[in-house]
């Protein structure tokens, strides 16, 4: 996201009059302080000054600012600075600019603290087109302002591996066109030489019929083979695109996927690739042939009778102007339609995966209504789309038809005047008819092309996304020992809103660290960073002295065992789910892991034992059972780093006790991070880290922290009190 916009010349001059320093940050806002919409209000900072320029004008010396912050309000935010202990409201914005406002506040804060060499970077995607200001339809490029040829280049690139098939298709198409064109010469000579002169015999007619039949048969066989090849090409391309998309999605970091709905991603993998296939089968392969036919027809007609030919083409410029004018509009219509289709897909996906909640709250009717609303919106846009095309195409066809009427009239007059033979006129009218075919086919082309380019844009929107977590080329594939050093890390899911700030923690191999803190303080976030599901914004994490970013991801992940806060099991058998972590594990290892996780007994009682199919997300199992399978899965890899995020929260006291015992055995020789709200679970931890206010606020053994009488002490006391009340 751009944080240093170029000021318009006049405002630049006004800033230059005030200060010689260049802007470090400069963003635009769309609301004045009074809340009125504005298109000309900039706010930013140089090293010395905060400036507001445009409809308002204000300069504030950075040296007078103690701090700056952005407050998120309903549908917008405000930027405030604190001067002499007083909060001053500097600017307002709608949600369009809120992310930039947060960044600017952070930037001003750094400048006021004298950190003049640090710059705020915002890696978030733009939600609005920089050029035209329109909302981007879920893609990073604006369909209105983006160059169309990019999509064609992409299409050509996609088809490159199938070049040989494409060449055969084009050759067949040319062959077909040549046959169609030459047939008309046979007809002309037959009419002028035999029919009009009356010299023709029954044998002549039979020969012409046989030639016609033969040519049509060859042409039909060529057409059949061409259709087969076109389908083969289309299916091949969409197959590769789907595979490419899936490969790429697996590589993308969670921060990208967090911001996408699974339904929308599925829509791109399945439907958009299908649109590309449809285009290649029906249009792309025919396009070259049609073009060649069109050009050869035009040349032939010009040679035969240039005046009539020009009459036939009279309306072509109008058609081109018409199509070009409506092109951007049609592109937007298609993007809109796809976006609405995405929403329906998301809704369905969401409701079906949360169907238990829908039913328990008796919200089926509301969900049906909600779906109907989305469905209505899709139908609306489809209706307006179809209405547009229902007018657009007949109009184009009418323009095309005018050309052929004109030929018939002018040619008829020519025959009467004797400047043209009947055979010539018939040949000409046939050519005009043949011209009509490709032309009206081409008049449908904008719709097909735009539907395909919209899909291509959406597909490439994912394929062009650079994975946030990159596995370096010469990444280290080392055996992990488990020494972890976290140095001054700052991280936020939105780069401008840190969840953890300047957090440091050193953990020796084999040590068990309990992570404690209020809900939402960032415990799971910290382990997400240790697992490198996200990269830190600042600071570094060292594993055995190596930066986590230098380690080979796959080899690092294979040395981590993890039980996440939300147990996730895949649709499949119990065995598949445990084996997921280590596909090469023997049955004996799996049973051993299940026994350690206290899961073996209940698995044996299932109808098909280890082969029992557990439904999607394992919904056929109880919460505790799912958790135990997840624990078995985590320990199967014999991990060097064990991460337990509320790993025993769904277990009864008896099972928890047994699992705790198992963990006690397991954690020997492994670095363990355990998160638990029930503090008694962490009594065996070597040290406990209390996360508060975005950093580790207390660190020590259970007894040390109790003596400290700080946050941990408060939490323990509160839980004791609660337990006492229960009793
Ligand atoms: N994927 C995400 N995208 C955006 N924000 C997130 C995401 N995951 C968590 N957060 C936010 O980050 C903050 C820390 O969340 P985190 O899950 O680390 O808390 P926690 O300490 O594990 O809480 P709990 O004890 O309830 O599990 C919360 O404010 C949460 O809203
Ligand atoms: Mg959590």
Q: Check pocket membership of 499 for ligand 1, CB cut-off 6 A.
A: yes
Q: Are 427 and 181 in contact (CB under 8 A)?
A: no
pLDDT at 196: 74
- pLDDT-derived band at 720 (thresholds 50, 70, 90) equals confident
Q: How far is CA 676 from CA 130, 330, 564, 655, 712, in A?
A: 46, 55, 12, 16, 13
pLDDT in tens, 643-669: 988 877 777 777 777 777 777 777 788
| Cβ count within 10 A of residue 450 | 23
Beta strands 641-645 and 671-675, pairing class: parallel
Specify the residue with its C-alpha closest to ligand 1, atom 6: 493
From residue 293, alpha-carbon distances to 185, 218, 351 in Å are 15, 18, 52
- Choose which residue among 124, 498, 523 to substitute to test ligand 1 binding: the one with the highest number of ligand atoms within 8 A of its C-beta: 523
Question: Which helix (H) or strand (E) segment is 68 a member of?
Answer: strand 65-73
The one-character DSSP state at 114 is T
* CA–CA separation, 428 and 163 (whole Å): 36
> What per-residue confidence (pLDDT) applies to 666?
77
For the segment 457-483, the average pLDDT, to the nearest whole number, is 86
Please give the mean pLDDT across all residues of the chain: 85
Distance from C-alpha of 410 to C-alpha of 402, rounded to nearest angstrom: 12
Q: Is 571 helix (H, G, I), strand (E, B) or coil?
A: coil
Could you tell me the fold of the domain covering 483-559+642-651+673-727? Rossmann fold (3.40.50)
Share of the chain above pLDDT 70, in %: 97
- Confidence at residue 488, expressed as pLDDT on a 0 to 100 scale: 93
- Give CA–CA dist 414/403, Å, rounded: 16
Condensed to tens digits (0 to 9), the pLDDT of residues 309-363 reads 888 777 778 777 877 787 777 777 777 888 888 888 888 888 887 887 888 888 8
Q: Tell me what pLDDT residue 487 has.
A: 94
Residues composing the chain = 727
Are the C-beta atoms of residues 679 and 719 closer than 8 Å to each other?
yes
Report how far ligand 1's centroid is from the alpha carbon of 696 (Å). 16
Q: What are phi and psi of 483, to 5 degrees?
A: -80, 125
Q: What is the pLDDT of residue 392?
A: 75
Verify whether ligand 1 is closer than 6 Å to residue 523 (CB atom). yes
For 9-112, CATH gives 2.30.29.30
DSSP bridge pairs for 67: 82
Q: Which of 98-112, 298-312, 698-712 has the lowest mean pLDDT?
A: 298-312
Closest C-alpha residue for ligand 1 atom 26: 519
C-alpha span between 353 and 619 (Å, rounded): 11
SS (H, E, C) 403-472: HHHHHHHHHHHHHHHCCCCHHHHHHHHHHHHHHHHHHHHHHHHHHHHHHHHHHHHHHHHHHCCCCCCCCC
pLDDT score at 600: 92
Lowest mean pLDDT segment, chosen from 125-139, 175-189, 279-293, 683-697: 125-139
Distance CA 93, CA 78 (A): 6
The residue whose C-alpha atom lies closest to atom 29 belonging to ligand 1 is: 520
Nearest CA to ligand 1 atom 7: 493
Q: What is the C-alpha to C-alpha distance for residues 5 and 1, in angstroms, rounded to an integer? A: 10
Quick check: CB of 519 below 6 Å from ligand 1?
yes
145 phi and psi angles, rounded to 5 deg: -95, -15
Q: Residue 611: its pLDDT value, please?
A: 92
- CA count, 13 A, side-chain hemisphere, 589: 15
Residue 231 has pLDDT above 80, yes or no: yes
pLDDT for the residue numbered 443 = 66
Cβ atoms of 421 and 415 closer than 8 Å: yes
Atom of ligand 1 nearest to the CA of 691: 21
Indicate the CATH number of 149-463 among 1.20.1560.10, 3.30.420.40, 3.30.2030.30, 2.60.40.10: 1.20.1560.10
Confidence of residue 147 (pLDDT cuts 50, 70, 90): low
- Angle (CA) 203-209-212 rounded to 5° is 145
The lowest-confidence range among 123-132, 445-454, 524-533 is 123-132
Once rounded to an integer, what is the mean pLDDT over residues 508-533?
93
Q: Which two tokens stand for residue 581?
A: 């972590």
Hey, where are the domains in the chain? 9-112, 149-463, 483-559+642-651+673-727, 565-638
Residue with tokens 């075919």: 437
**Same CATH fold assignment for domains 9-112 and 149-463:** no
Question: Residues 607, 612, 616, 619: is their CA dihedral positive or negative?
Answer: positive
Distance between CA atoms of residues 488 and 529, nearest Å: 13
Q: Residue 246, SS3?
A: helix
Q: What is the mean pLDDT of residues 419-424?
A: 82
- In the prediction, which pLDDT does 138 show? 62
Placement of tokens 């084996």 in the chain:
579
If DSSP codes are grouped into helix, strand and coil, which group holds residue 447?
helix
- pLDDT per position as a tens digit, 472-490: 888 888 889 999 999 999 9
| Structure token pair of residue 712 | 């941990």
Q: What per-residue confidence (pLDDT) applies to 148?
A: 64
Structure tokens at 373: 């609303």
CA distances from residue 112 to 70, 474, 635, 650 in whole angstroms, order as listed: 15, 41, 50, 48
pLDDT surpassing 70 at residue 139: no
Q: How far apart are CA 317 and CA 152, in angstroms?
A: 23
How many percent of the chain have pLDDT more than 90? 24
Nearest to 599 by CA among 647, 559, 561, 565: 647
Question: Among 211-225, 279-293, 493-507, where is mean pLDDT lowest?
Answer: 279-293
- pLDDT score of 144 more than 80: no
Listing DSSP states for 303-335 in one string gives HH-HHHHHHHTTTHHHHHHHHHHHHHHHHHHHH
Q: Is a pLDDT exceeding 90 seen at residue 516?
A: yes
Give the pLDDT band of residue 427 (cuts 50, 70, 90).
confident
| Ranges 46-50, 571-575, 623-627: which has the least confidence | 623-627
Compute the distance between CA of residue 437 and CA of residue 293 in angstroms, rounded to an integer.
10
Q: Is the pLDDT of residue 635 over 90?
A: no
The answer to whether 273 and 459 are in contact (CB under 8 A) is yes
What are the counts of helices (DSSP H) followed by strands (DSSP E) for the chain? 23, 19
Ligand at minimal distance from the CA of 517 is 1
Strand 538-543 relative to strand 484-491, pairing: antiparallel
Q: Which two tokens stand for residue 274?
A: 């299908």
229: tokens are 């090849």
The rounded distance, in Å, linking the Cα atoms of 430 and 538 is 73
For residue 76, give the 3-state DSSP assignment: strand
Is 641:559 a contact under the CB 8 Å cutoff?
Answer: yes
What is the residue with the minimal CA distance to atom 30 of ligand 1?
520
Q: 520 CB less than 6 Å from ligand 1? A: yes
Residues 491 and 534 sit within 8 Å (Cβ to Cβ) = yes
Q: Please, which residues bridge with residue 463 across strands? A: none
**Pair type for strands 671-675 and 512-516:** parallel
Of 180-194, 551-565, 629-643, least confident by mean pLDDT is 180-194
Angle at CA of residue 159, ends 273 and 468, nearest 5° = 60
Task: Give the pLDDT band (50/70/90) at residue 394.
Answer: confident
DSSP 333-378: HHHHHHHHHHHHHHHHHHHHHTHHHHHHTT-HHHHHHHHHHHHHHH
User: In the structure encoding, which two tokens stand for residue 143, read together?
Assistant: 């369909």
H-type alpha helices, 2-89: 9-18
Closest listed ligand to the CA of 491 = 1
Residue 551: predicted pLDDT: 93
Rounded average pLDDT over 588-609: 91
Mutate-to-test residue for ligand 1 from 253, 256, 495, 524, highest number of ligand atoms within 8 A of CB: 524
Task: Choose which residue among 520, 523, 690 to substitute to test ligand 1 binding: the one with the highest number of ligand atoms within 8 A of its C-beta.
Answer: 520
- Residue 528, SS3 per DSSP: helix
The topology under which CATH files domain 565-638 is Rossmann fold (3.40.50)
> What residue owns the CA closest to ligand 1's atom 13?
520
Q: Is the pLDDT of residue 237 over 80?
A: yes
Give me the helices (H) in 607-668, please: 623-636, 653-666
Question: What pLDDT does 297 receive?
Answer: 82
What's the rounded Cα separation, in Å, for the pair 309 and 297? 10
d(CA 572, CA 575): 8
The 3-state DSSP class for residue 436 equals helix
Q: Tokens 């008309």 map to which residue?
A: 184
pLDDT(368) > 80: yes
Cβ–ligand 1 distance for 524 under 6 Å, the answer: yes
What secondary structure, in 3-state letters, does 187-222 show?
HHHHHHHHHCCCCCCHHHHHHHHHHHHHHHHHHHHH
Q: Is the pLDDT of residue 533 over 70?
A: yes
Six token digits for residue 102: 């947060």
pLDDT number for residue 265: 87
Burial of 665 (0-12, 13-18, 19+ CB in 10 A): exposed
Q: What pLDDT is stored for residue 564 in this prediction?
A: 85
Is 260 strand, coil or helix? coil
In a 3-state reduction of DSSP, which class is residue 385? helix
């Amino acid at each position: 996201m751009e944080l240093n916009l170029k000021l318009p010349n006049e405002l630049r001059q006004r800033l230059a009059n005030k200060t010689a320093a260049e802007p470090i940050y400069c963003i635009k806002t769309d609301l004045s302080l009074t809340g009125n919409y504005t298109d000309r209000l900039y706010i930013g900072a140089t090293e010395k000054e905060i400036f507001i320029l445009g409809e308002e004008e204000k300069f504030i010396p950075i040296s007078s600012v103690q701090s700056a912050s952005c407050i998120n309000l309903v549908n917008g935010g405000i930027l405030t600075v604190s001067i002499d202990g007083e909060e001053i409201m500097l600017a307002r914005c709608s949600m369009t600019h809120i992310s930039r406002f947060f960044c600017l506040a952070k930037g001003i804060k750094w400048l006021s603290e004298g950190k003049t060499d640090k710059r705020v970077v915002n890696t978030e995607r733009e939600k609005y087109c920089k050029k035209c200001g329109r909302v981007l339809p879920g893609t990073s490029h604006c369909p209105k302002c983006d160059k169309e040829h990019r999509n064609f280049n992409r299409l050509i690139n996609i088809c490159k591996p199938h070049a040989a098939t494409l060449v055969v298709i084009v050759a067949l198409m040319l062959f077909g066109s040549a046959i169609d064109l030459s047939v008309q010469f046979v007809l002309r000579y037959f009419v002028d030489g035999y029919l009009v002169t009356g010299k023709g015999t029954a044998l002549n007619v039979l020969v012409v019929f046989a030639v016609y039949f033969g040519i049509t048969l060859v042409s039909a066989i060529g057409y059949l083979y061409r259709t087969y090849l076109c389908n083969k090409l289309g299916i091949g391309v969409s197959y590769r695109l789907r595979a490419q998309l899936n490969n790429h999605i697996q590589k993308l970091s969670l921060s990208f996927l967090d911001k996408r709905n699974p339904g929308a991603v599925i829509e791109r993998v399945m439907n958009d690739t299908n649109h590309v296939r449809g285009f290649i089968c029906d249009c792309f392969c025919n396009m070259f042939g049609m073009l060649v036919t069109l050009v050869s027809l035009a040349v032939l007609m010009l040679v035969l009778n240039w005046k009539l030919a020009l009459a036939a083409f009279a309306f072509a410029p109008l058609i081109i102007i018409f199509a070009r004018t409506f092109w951007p509009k049609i592109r937007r219509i298609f993007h809109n339609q796809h976006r609405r289709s995405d929403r329906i897909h998301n809704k369905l996906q969401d409701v079906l995966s949360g169907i238990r909640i829908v039913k328990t709250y008796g919200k089926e009717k509301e969900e049906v209504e909600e779906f109907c609303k989305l469905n209505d919106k899709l139908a609306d846009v489809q209706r307006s789309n179809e209405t547009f095309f229902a007018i657009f195409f007949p109009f184009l066809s009418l323009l095309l038809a005018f050309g052929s009427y004109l030929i018939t009239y002018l040619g008829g007059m020519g025959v009467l005047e004797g400047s043209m033979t009947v055979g010539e006129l018939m040949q000409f009218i046939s050519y005009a008819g043949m011209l009509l075919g490709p032309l009206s086919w081409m008049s449908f082309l904008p719709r097909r092309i735009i539907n395909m380019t919209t899909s291509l844009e959406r597909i490439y929107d994912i394929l062009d996304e650079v994975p946030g977590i990159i596995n370096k080329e010469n990444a280290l594939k080392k055996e992990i020992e488990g020494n972890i050093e976290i140095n001054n890390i700052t991280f936020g899911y939105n780069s401008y809103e840190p969840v953890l700030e300047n957090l440091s923690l050193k953990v020796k191999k084999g040590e068990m660290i309990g992570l404690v803190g209020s809900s939402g303080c960032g415990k799971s976030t910290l382990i997400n960073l240790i697992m490198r599901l996200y990269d830190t914004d600042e600071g570094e994490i060292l594993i055995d002295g190596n930066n986590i970013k230098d380690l080979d991801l796959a080899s690092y992940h294979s040395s981590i065992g993890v039980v996440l806060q939300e147990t996730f099991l895949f649709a499949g058998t119990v065995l598949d789910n445990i084996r997921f972590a280590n596909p090469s594990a023997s049955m004996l290892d799996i049973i051993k892991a299940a026994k350690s996780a206290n899961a073996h007994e209940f698995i044996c009682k299932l109808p098909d034992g280890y082969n029992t199919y557990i439904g999607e997300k394992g919904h056929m199992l109880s919460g505790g059972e799912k958790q135990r399978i997840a624990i078995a899965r985590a320990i199967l890899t014999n991990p060097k780093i064990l991460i337990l995020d509320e790993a025993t929260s769904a277990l009864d006291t008896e099972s928890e006790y047994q699992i705790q015992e198992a963990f006690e055995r397991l954690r020997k020789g492994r670095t363990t991070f355990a998160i638990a709200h029930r503090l008694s679970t962490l009594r065996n931890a070597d040290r406990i880290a209390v996360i508060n206010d975005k950093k580790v606020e207390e660190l020590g053994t259970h007894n040390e922290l109790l003596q400290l009488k700080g946050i941990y002490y408060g939490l323990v006391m509160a839980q004791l009190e609660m337990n006492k009340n229960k009793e």
